[in-house]
Amino acid sequence: QVQLVESGGGLVQPGGSLRLSCVASGSFFSIDVMAWYRQVSDNTREAVASIGSDGNIHYEDPVKGRFTISRDNAKNTVYLQMNSLQPEDTAVYYCYAHVRVAKYTGDRAYWGQGTQVTISA
């Protein structure tokens, strides 16, 4: 069993900042990619940013220049620093990870429970 536990969501005003955290716990060998997705209501869950175990980072266009993804491998934690937040950023944000649960197995995909981020005046 691998768990991804998110925290840091909340309500902020336009232009404000928020920092999300996601901690992986349980029994696993290693974590490859970690990523953040977001979903508005019943729409498709969309990618936000990802970071590989080697530090390779990708941002989707809507958040470039405003969001920063980082990870602390020793703590099995990924962060999403969100600045200059706007109402269109309102969504449930989900942590996602490709986890190698054992040395000789392939990766498995895991999702966090999601954390609500609301931007409103």
Q: What's residue 11's pLDDT?
A: 98
Model confidence band, residue 98 (pLDDT cutoffs 50, 70, 90): very high
Residue 120 DSSP class: -
Q: How far apart are CA 78 and CA 31, in angstroms?
A: 11
Q: How far apart are CA 45 and CA 93, in angstroms?
A: 9
**pLDDT tens digits, one per residue of 23-81:** 999 999 999 999 999 999 889 999 999 999 999 999 999 999 999 999 999 999 999 99
Q: What's residue 13's pLDDT?
A: 97
Q: Distance of CA 85 to CAs 13, 82, 93, 117, 121, Å? A: 8, 7, 13, 10, 11
